[in-house]
A and B are shown apart, each in its own frame.
Chain A
């Protein structure tokens, strides 16, 4: 689909440019004559192709129902979308907007929610223990 969309956009743009150029040339040369039919036809075809191409190459629509949108996030998890920041970190797709409440791992869960209350010493101790066991 993206290939078809890009092709239609490219060809449509070429036709549009050509049609506009032809129309300009024609009016410059024959000031009082009507525009030939083929130029009008080319213009209309190029616009139809461009419209189709833009629709085809647009990103997928999001589910408009809350439960389906949330289900899509929950099922698919976060995945890369082919864009990176300057530091080399990939931009991920939309995630759970309520993850900051830190409630998704249950009571006493080891999630990363509630960053304001981040328990730095606990996490440090957990890592140090893991490193010690790994060194053994």
Chain B
């Protein structure tokens, strides 16, 4: 259920939702939140709230997405008049507007040069540095984008958003080791982020879909995602999937599993995590049972439309249903 709310836009915006969002423009444009009265009175009779500006910013992005450039221009003018043209956030928003209007790659290069000029004056403007990476990505220069991002995270190593983006770029390029490193950095700053644990587990799984140490690590991180969010659909799905793949690979008894871990140690494994012994067969079987029952509960209650259970993504629930159906056959 994706309602078009400008204050808190949904986490995925499909074209119809974007259209619904941008169609709210006339109402917002009709009543400017700032007061037209002279200074001391304007403070007393203002109608602006912090939410007004969030709404303006989200509407600006929605208007750019739907190609409503005139609306975007007037919203940008309003924001600039309120916060000033040198505000870091406004500079980045103006950049987004110019990027959207750039018809060709040559024009986009011009926007890029504009960013370079801003950064020459003030290299600490991280909004613009991020836009620079986005432009490089948009131009198809993924290698340059990765280089720019590595410089960015070197200068600002606590920026979890940048680490997540870098991890994504590496993952799309198939550099699993680097992507895993980036996600581990995200976890360093946001240790409770269940989505980051699930993403890291996914990366471990994709890096080596049939190797025991990688699957064991994926299982550990999916388990952590479920521990942090007991209804995490992605965590439960991953837990069941990995457990199914792991069970045939695991040795039957504890003594054998210890010999396997000893053998792994002798192989000079590069990372410390591989030194951990693989999980017990019985533990993995128990985890799979838990994941199966919880997934079945989610699928059943979501399908029944029980109140308080309808917040899941339709496609994700469908995928869980298929996974459960496959296991039964």
Contact = CB atoms under 8 A, between A and B. Distances in A.
B192 to A, nearest CB: 7
Given A101-B186, A107-B168, A118-B61, A75 B198 contact: no
A11 interface: no
Interface string B216-236: 000000000001111111100
Given A86-B47, A89-B6, A121-B99, A116 B161 contact: yes
B164 interface: yes
B7 A75 contact: no
A131 interface: yes
Nearest to A91: B7
B202 A106 contact: yes
Contacts of B232: 70-71, 74
A14 interface: no
Nearest to B6: A89
B161 A100 contact: yes
Interface string B61-78: 100111100000000000
Interface stretch (A1-9, A51-59, A122-130): A122-130
Given A71-B230, A101-B160, A106-B199, A87 B51 contact: yes
Interface stretch (B35-43, B132-140, B252-260, B271-279): B132-140
Given A75-B231, A78-B311, A120 B52 contact: no
Contacts of B13: 112, 123
Contact of B96 (A104, A113, A118, A131): A118
A118 B60 CA distance: 13
B149 to A, nearest CB: 9
Interface residues of A, number: 52
A76 B108 CA distance: 42
A2 B131 CA distance: 49
Contacts of A96: 11, 195
Interface in A55-79: 66-68, 70-78
Contact of A107 (B11, B138, B171): B171
Contact of B67 (A74, A105, A124): A124
B127 interface: yes
A38 interface: no
A41 interface: no
Contacts of A118: 61, 96, 134
Contact of B6 (A87, A99, A101, A117): A87
A85 interface: yes
A101 B137 CA distance: 18
A107 B202 contact: yes
A119 B138 contact: yes
Contacts of A136: none
Contact of B312 (A72, A74, A85, A103): A74
Interface of B: 1, 5-13, 15-16, 18-19, 24, 27-28, 33, 47, 49, 51-52, 55, 61, 64-67, 92, 96, 99-100, 102, 108, 126-127, 130-131, 133-134, 137-138, 160-162, 164-165, 168, 171-172, 186, 190, 192-196, 198-199, 202-203, 206, 227-234, 298, 308-312
Given A118-B61, A121-B102, A126-B15, 17 more contacts: A70-B194, A70-B228, A71-B230, A71-B232, A72-B308, A75-B231, A75-B298, A77-B1, A78-B8, A88-B27, A90-B5, A98-B194, A101-B193, A103-B196, A107-B172, A120-B134, A130-B16
7 contacts: A71-B231, A74-B229, A107-B172, A107-B202, A112-B12, A114-B161, A120-B138
3 pairs of A and B residues whose beta carbons are closest in the complex: A77-B311, A71-B231, A130-B15
Interface of A: 66-68, 70-78, 85-92, 95-96, 98-108, 110-114, 116-124, 126-128, 130-131
